[in-house]
Structure formats: structure tokens, C-alpha cells
Amino acid sequence: MPEALNTIEKFCDDFDINVAIHNHDRKASPQYWHPEGILKVCQGRSKRIGACGDLGYWMRSGIDPIKAVNTLKDRLLTVQMHDLNELSPEGHDVPWGAGVGKTGQFIEEIHRLGIRPTMFGLEYSYNWFGSMPEIARCIDFFNRMSMKLAK
């Protein structure tokens, strides 16, 4: 993909669209698994190219999401929210605010820095056939945090 970024950047600017590079783990995404890697590829480019920060992959890779947002700052274009039961490659999703991911602090830090991602995505990759109550708890948590920060 790096070789295509010049063309992608031109289309982004010509058509007023943003492209967020999604991180995965080190094996699947060697250039982009770490916020520094995404920042490096964005250096000198339009602000329309940035990161889709996947909190689950960050935490499973030992990256603190709060430090990541402070590294990426306005290059954080979208967020794929997760909270995990443990900070390890085996960590699995739990309702936001119920795990070890400092989810509330992460949202507060985005607000404090004045970052306005175009999207906060909800992905819940655990308890596939019974996860609707957990997903509802994630939505409730996000809504409560949003109302708190709106005051």
C-alpha cells in the first residue's frame, strides 16, 4: 500500500475524502501495527490520510491506547473501540469500561486533545451468539461518557 499513497492522497484531496489506515498486529501489519509506523507513513502528507486506531490490536500488542492517541493526535481519523479482559494477545472483548483498557480515560483524552474522529466503531469479537447485552452496555457506556463530556 505505501506505493499507492501518492495516488490515494491525490484522490483524497480532489474529492474531499479521508483514508484511515487500520492497524492490526505486528505479523499482519508490520508497517502499521504501531502508531509510530502510521505516523511515519503520514509524514509530509495531506491531513486527509491518517489512522484507524483499533484499540483491541493496540492493547493485545502492548500499546497503551492513551499514549497512542497522544502520538497520533489529529492523524487519528477513526477509532475502532474495544475493551479487553486482559492486556495480552489472548485478551478478549468485554463491555466498555468493564475491562483493563482505560476506555473512559481514552475517550476523555480524545476530548481533552480536541480530536474529532469521524467515527467511533463498535466491534465486539467475543461471545458471538450472546453478545447483544454486552454490546448494549458498550453503547450505554459511550452515551454516558459523551453526555459527561458535553457538559
The ranges assigned to domains in the chain are 2-150
Calpha distance 11→142 (Å, rounded) = 33
Read off the pLDDT band of 77 (50, 70, 90): very high
**Stated pTM of the model:** 0.93
Q: Which pLDDT belongs to residue 1?
A: 63
Q: Which CATH number fits domain 2-150: 3.20.20.150, 3.90.1150.10, 2.60.40.10, 3.40.50.300?
A: 3.20.20.150
Whether residue 142 has pLDDT greater than 80: yes
Whether residue 122 has pLDDT greater than 70: yes
Whether residue 63 has pLDDT greater than 70: yes
3-state SS assignment for residue 53:
strand
| Beta strands, E only, 1-151 | 19-22, 49-54, 76-81, 119-122
